[in-house]
Structure 1
Amino acid sequence: MSFDDDDNQDDCVGETSDDVSPFSTNELFSSVDELKDWAKTIGREVGVVVVTQRSKTNAGGEVVKVWLKCDHGGSYNCTATVRHSGTIKTGCHFSLIGNYLRQYNGWRLRVVYDTHNHELVQYFKGHAYAGRLTPAQNVMVHDMYRNRAPPRDILCNLKSKDERNVTCIKTVYNEGQKIRKEDHRGKSPMEVLFNLLQDTAYIHNHRTNPSTNALEDLFFVHPTSYMIYHAFPHVLVIDTTYNTNVYKMPFVQIVGVTSTNKTFHIAMAAISNEKEDNFTWVLTMIKTTLDNCMMLRVILTDCDFAMMNACEIVFPNAAKLLCRWHINENIKKHCRQSFATAEEYEQFLGRWNWLVKSSTLPEYESRYRRLYDTLIADHKRVFDYVNINWLDKYKEKFVSVWIDQNLNFGNTTTNRVESAYSLLKKHMVTRNSKLDKLVGIIDRIMVSQLTAIKATFEESRKKKMNHHNISLFNELRRHVSCKALDILWGELNRVNKLMEFGRTCRCHVRTSCGMPCACMISKYLTSDQTIPLVSIDIYWRKLDFDPLFVDEDKGLDSKANELVEEESKGRKKKYVVKVPFTSKASLINQSTTRSPKT
């Protein structure tokens, strides 16, 4: 036994002779890798991280001898000038030698020195070498990283496949950094972004500053979003979010809604400013992607005036609605402090929401007067705020009596796009990602959304719900979405209530959703007719991804329109047709009270 530095021998403690060392073995190993794996396994059991010190090859380049040491062996020469650095090296003399024995065609391990001048390892998770990835693990990490899996999921997968794995999250991050450097070598961030958009077949466009050539606005549509949007161009829900990218650019998310009530991403845009010009450019890009498909019918936005003006410019014929949730949040911000208790504020909010949901003009005027009477004495400032800032200017964009005069398919808030942003944040590793990372995240989200939408299409075409199994729906089942049948089922339940209490139909389902309302359904019942498929708007009949061209949107057919006209004349006297229900009434009662089969 010999050492380069004999002085270090005095620091060694607990010296173990060769015959009692846990590394002593007479086993013949078939390869050098098998020998090293065995030594590392024994080292893990006794608290030693065994690493390769050096190796020797013969003239043919084959390894014939290998030296193994403890990871505390050797010395560290610090060359850092800025970063603070440290070392675990203590000059430990632990040493093993593996030799290839030609006469036995195998490898033998010999213990040179089995003594350490440091405490043995208690937890291997703090040792970088012990947490190194094996070649197989490296391949798995690369595959998952390229599929945009977050590091925490990659680490969990590593540990689930090997319970002895001691890799730390930092190792996964470092490996991801290596992959990014390899992929982005010699490219600027913008080159990486546009190459990714091109390679993944995104529909995209951008604007740059003429003087600096810096990116100002970027618009992109996933190819799957493009396909779904052409099938469902009816609804746009738009909102702007922040803290999504390292460039601090506001991020515009635009989502749509399918006939089965599923949300899908339509387009995304990173803009330099939240000005009318920027929003107009984004919406113009959206309009351009429609080609010769039908134009959208309703746009939902928050209370951003620049966005509202841009919508009016680009889509003048679409109904523009304001998000009720954002309005309530603004009211809370400006009015909550005017009320002494939370109970008083909740009572006010209840009256306000009651006013917003007014379905007729007389109803609106009555509720408006009640709100005025309750606020004018003690909370005049609150009444002035809601009246001047919201009702006087924008009541036609969020109060039911006005918004239900146009098709909105039941959408009154931008909560769908808020949920889409929440989903985006779940996939983001950091709140400020590069734009190419956002593109990759959208790719993963669209795979999930497409699967969910296809599942609901198949459910509507194949599945027959118990409460839909009535003769009135014979023409509709498997031809319209289950969501549409649920709405019609609700209207069917209203028929008897309207008859019992002598209330008006108000026909908001017909005007806002494009389907027969309660008074029309009563006509079908009395004449023993089923609800015709043509009386259902094309939106609810769409259960595929074929593009919806302009001439396909015919709304209600002539027969259905005649029935609507007839009902309208009848409502001049009475809002709902009085039907002398006999067996029909019992049929409805049975249908509305029957419990689903289990």
Structure 2
Amino acid sequence: MTESFLFHESQLIEVGLNNAQPEEVPPPAFVPPCISIDVSHLFTTDQIFPTRDDLINWVHGIAIENGYVVLITKSDSGGNGSRKAYVMLGCEKHGKYVPYRDPDLVEGTRTQKTECPFRLKGRPMKNGIDRDWRLKVMEGTHNHEPARSLLGHNFVGRLNSEEKEQVEKMSKSWVPPRKMLLTLKENNPLNLTTISQIYGACKRLRKSLRGSLTEMQHLLKKLDGDKYVHFERHEPGSEVIRDVFWAHPNAIKLFNTFPYVVIMDCTYKTNKYKIPLLEIVGLTSTDKTYSIAFCYIVNEGTDDYVWALECMKSLLADQAMLPKVIVTDRDLALLSAAKQSLPNTSHLLCLWHINKCVLAKCKLYVGTDDFAELVMGKWGEVVDAATVEEFEVQWMQLFNMCKDKYSNFTSYCSTTWLVHKEKFAKEWTNHVMHFGTTTSNRAEGAHASLKKMLRDCKGDLATSWDASHSLTCNRHTEILASFERSIHRIDHIFMFPFYTNIRGFVSNKCLQLIDDEHIRMKSYGGCDCLLRETHGLPCGCELAGYERIPYESIHPFWKRLSWEHVPEPVADTISNHICGMNHGDMQPEVEALTHYFSSLDTGGQSMVRRKLQAIYCPESSSLCTPEVQIRSKRTLKANERKPPKVKAIGSLTRDPSGFEHVDREIKEAKKASQPPKKKKRVKKSDTSYFMGHFPSFFHPYIHTVQNVEDDGNCGYRAIAALLGLPSGEEGWPCVREALIDELD
């Protein structure tokens, strides 16, 4: 009787009363179902195709309509009639994947092969004649389902000849690949191309344009093909390129027309070699920025900047027309180079960068309170001082304000910036004819335009040249248009007799500056002659004595509305300066070279031949690019902090400047010092908080307020709680089901 109530061990396991855990049995391996889809009837035909291509196109069309992709797996043209011509067609999933090298290294690889048996065979009806083709179904079944969408199948997404031509034209116009794809799909709604195929087509196009040339040979060929003036330097004892300087022929004409002001600045992250790009820009009479030249310099040293400045000077047809003003940032190597190459040129420092750096130090040493704002206001008065005496007075006031507590700030200002006060303080810059250019913002804007075209920093030097060339040509078009607008389109406010002598003969920018000065003189009176000294235009006191502005009172800079009258310079290959002799006569140089060549031995003559060949045949140049700098990871030390997250590889975004680092640190410090905000918790019984959310005429009808969890079912939860269901808020499924039943 007792034994009848005892369970055996197997029975205990079945009812879950045994605490012992059974051994886990691994689930059976997934075996895909065996699929066999017969499509023989789709390809069984007695049709005779005129050519092999007609047969293939017909098969492709039928396969795509039914969700399959058919490729040529094997073919033979028949040779000279010695063999039988045929073409074998199969599914894109035919065959079996075979690892290329190590079969164990399969991570990150994939395949579409499923050993699909589908096969078709096409043959001409007459041997040796490529016509009258017939199709035969060898195996008409697929071992997989048809594709729901053919997007992502590379074969059907291939570009045809017309689309390839479109992509080539758009690629030369620097159209982004995503916009290329949109254009193709707008022209053909049935297009199945993907963005990766557009990238591949662009890459193949660039490779085909270069051919067998090296990167430097390709770059030099492009420079010669577009008549650029260019200079190169290589590392001593090797053929690795060090510096490359190039200037567009029309940019040289512009530089000879407007050589008065030059802005220089380096930008970074424009190529995979991490070589800085020095861009030299100027401004026209119509207030347009133009690029004088570009220069890749490996090392930003004084010697490199001197070389770049000497190359820039060689572009001028008249060495007496050297730039009158050069604007840069506080690069000590560039300051030293400008002093050597342009000793008579006024050198200005970018006022915008100076103010930003001083503001950063003020936040760091003084703080961010009201006193710091007072200090920065006083610094502005120091910079804007109109006389030397006023400058010294303002500086002493600032010094006395900060000498007790913030001597670090005054020490920074005096040792870093006031030693260059003649280069940025208005007492000195107001006596320089800089035509309104006291910052390097024009160069910064040129950098931004260039990087928009580059899209990433993984390109080579030839890619950077392509972008600069396209950008330069666009700028020249806009500059020519601005010249024509100044000649033929005059604003109505300048149609008075006061402007008769200069209207249509000077730029619209010049007229606007004069009009602003005239209005200021009428409104406020008094004249500081600032416009005459900095822009070369009549100031207020001069305008007051004119009935009509004389043409002679305008600086020649504003009268130049064309570059065609300026002769194009020819660079001398020996001295890098423009020769004073007839530019078309090379006979003296040829005779000197012949005499020098005959005096050399065999090795010297071979060297001269190679150099001459590199000039008239740049494809044969032996120059090469530097090695690509690869960013490697390293193990952090025990007490070392993890570095901040770096930008994505290929990003063109510049690294933060010093003042931006200071702003970030101060912002983080403020955030850390503030106590965390406590969220106001609303009690479920607090009805006064919720009553304010309802109109007042609803209040007499509201008896109870129930605050529920906001999880997407709060409406059902509120009803369940107010109905007094046993489960409270958790009874919301009952309310929902009851509502559904009522609606049904």
Would you say the 8 A contact 1:359–1:508 is kept in 2?
A: no
- Is the Cα–Cα contact under 8 Å of residues 366 and 409 in structure 2 kept in the other structure? no
Q: Distance in 2 between matches of 1:154 and 1:128?
A: 17
Q: Note closer, same or farther for the CA distance 1:342–1:71 as it changes in structure 2 (3 Å cut).
A: farther
Q: Decide whether aligned partners of structure 1 residues 452 and 342 sit closer, same or farther in structure 2, where only a CA change above 3 A counts.
A: farther
In the superposition, relative to structure 1, how do residues 38 and 467 fare at CA in structure 2: closer, same or farther (>3 Å)?
farther
Tell me whether 218-227 or 47-56 shows the greater mean CA deviation: 47-56
Q: Distance in 2 between matches of 1:320 and 1:270?
A: 22
- C-alpha distance in structure 1 between counterparts of 2:78 and 2:299, whole Å: 67
- The 1:408/1:99 distance shift into structure 2, 3 A limit, reads same
2:60 is the alignment partner of 1:40: yes
- Counterpart residue number, 1:172: 198
Match of 1:268 in 2: 294
1:458 to 470, 481, 484: 484
**CA–CA distance in structure 2, aligned partners of residues 445 and 360 of structure 1:** 42
Alignment match, 1:419: 445
Q: Report the Cα distance in structure 2 between the residues aligned to 1:242 and 1:484, rounded to whole angstroms.
A: 35
Deviation of residue 63 (structure 1)? 10
Larger radius of gyration: 2
Residue aligning to 2:657: none
1:49 and 2:73 matched? no
Does structure 1 residue 474 correspond to structure 2 residue 492? no
CA distance in 2: counterparts of 1:172 and 1:270, whole angstroms: 30
Equivalent of 1:514 in 525, 536, 542: 536
Match of 2:509 among 480, 483, 504: 483
- Note the C-alpha offset of 1:136: 2.5
> Is contact 1:360-1:506 (8 Å) kept?
no
1:534 partnered with 2:552:
yes
Asked whether the 8 Å contact 1:73–1:89 carries over to 2, the reply is yes
Q: 1:65 to 1:432 in 2, by over 3 A?
A: closer
Pairing of 1:72-87 with structure 2 (within 5 A) = 72-81=93-102, 84=106, 85-87=109-111
Question: Residue 70 of structure 1: CA displacement?
Answer: 1.9
1:124 to 140, 150, 173: 150
Q: Distance in 2 between matches of 1:342 and 1:37?
A: 77
Specify whether residues 98 and 211 from structure 1 end up closer, same or farther in structure 2 by C-alpha distance, changes over 3 A only.
closer
Q: Is the 8 A contact 1:232 1:548 kept in 2?
A: no
Q: 2:114 aligns with which of 90, 99, 103?
A: 90
Given residue 117 of structure 2, which amino acid in structure 1 is its aligned partner?
H
1:517 partner letter: C
Please report how far the alpha carbon of residue 345 of structure 1 lies from its aligned counterpart in structure 2 after TM superposition: 4.8
Q: Structure 1 residues 200, 364: CA separation in 2 closer, same or farther (over 3 Å shift)?
A: same
In the other structure, the counterpart of 2:608 is none
The answer on whether the counterparts of 1:12 and 1:115 sit within 8 Å (CA) in structure 2 is no
Q: What are the residue-to-residue correspondences of 1:11-410 with 2, within 5 Å? A: 13-16=35-38, 18-19=40-41, 21=42, 31-55=51-75, 57=77, 66-81=87-102, 84=106, 85-97=109-121, 113-146=139-172, 149-292=175-318, 294-341=321-368, 345=372, 348-361=375-388, 363-365=390-392, 367-368=394-395, 371-372=398-399, 374-376=401-403, 378-391=405-418, 393-410=419-436
Go from structure 1 to structure 2 and tell me whether the alpha carbon gap of 1:333 and 1:212 turns closer, same or farther (over 3 Å shift).
Answer: farther
Q: In the aligned structure 2, how far is the partner of 1:445 from the partner of 1:63? A: 57
In structure 2, the partner of 1:3 is: none
Cα deviation per residue 1:134-190 (whole Å; 9 max; x = unaligned)?
Answer: 233233334444555554454444334333333333333333443444444443333
Provide the rounded CA distance (Å) in 2 between the counterparts of 1:547 and 1:315. 26
Identical-pair percentage: 32
Offset from partner CA, 1:77-100 (integer Å, 9 cap, x none): 332349754321101123445566
Sort the Cα spacing of 1:14 and 1:216 in 2 relative to 1 into closer, same or farther, 3 A.
closer
State how far apart, in whole Å, the 2-side matches of 1:261 and 1:476 are.
17
Q: Deviations over 1:410-455 (max 9, x none)?
A: 0011011111111111121431422122222211111110111011
In structure 2, what is the equivalent of residue 575 of structure 1?
Answer: none
Aligned to 1:125, the other structure's residue is in SS state coil
Once residues 501 and 278 of structure 2 are traced to their aligned partners in structure 1, the CA distance between those partners, rounded to angstroms, is 41
* Counterpart-to-counterpart distance in 2, 1:356 and 1:31: 83
- Paired with 2:363 and 2:64, the residues of 1 have a C-alpha distance of 62
Aligned partner (choices 544, 550, 556) of residue 562 of structure 2: 544
Distance 2:337 2:484 in 1: 37
Separation of aligned partners in 1, 2:237 and 2:38: 75
Q: Does 1:495 align with 2:516?
A: no
The residue that corresponds to 1:571 in the other structure is: none
* Partner-residue secondary structure (3-state), 2:468: helix
User: Is the partner of 1:205 in helix, strand or coil?
Assistant: strand
1:96-120 CA-partner distances (Å, limit 9, x unpaired): 4556679xx8666666655432243
Please give the alpha-carbon distance, in whole angstroms, between the structure 1 residues aligned to 2:150 and 2:366: 59
Report Cα offsets for 1:201-242 as digits up to 9, x if no partner. 211112223323432222111222112212111111001122
8 Å contact from structure 2 (residues 37, 145) kept in 1: no
Q: Which moved more, 1:155-164 or 1:425-434?
A: 155-164
Task: Identify the range of structure 1 (55-64 vs 205-214) with the bigger mean alpha-carbon deviation.
Answer: 55-64
Q: Is contact 1:184-1:192 (8 Å) kept?
A: yes
Change (3 A) 1:460 1:366: farther
Report the number of matched residues. Answer: 527
TM-score normalised over the length of structure 1: 0.79
- Could you give the per-residue CA deviations for residues 14-60 of structure 1, whole angstroms, max 9, x where no partner exists? 534645x4x66787766544444444344334322222234465687
Partner of 1:265, secondary structure, is strand
Q: 2: CA distance between counterparts of 1:445 and 1:480?
A: 26
Q: Conserved in 1, the CA contact under 8 Å of 2:243 and 2:297?
A: yes
CA distance in 2, matches of 1:166, 1:363: 72
Q: Check conservation: 1:232, 1:257, Cα contact below 8 A.
A: yes
How many angstroms apart in 1 are the aligned matches of 2:133 and 2:374? 84
Question: How far 1:255 moved relative to its partner?
Answer: 0.6
Return the offset for 1:493.
Answer: 1.1
* Larger CA deviation: 141-150 vs 329-338: 141-150
Please give the TM-score of this superposition, normalised by the length of structure 2.
Answer: 0.65
Give the C-alpha shift of residue 316 in structure 1.
1.7
CA distance in structure 2 between the partners assigned to 1:228 and 1:25 by the alignment? 70
Match of 1:439 among 446, 465, 468: 465
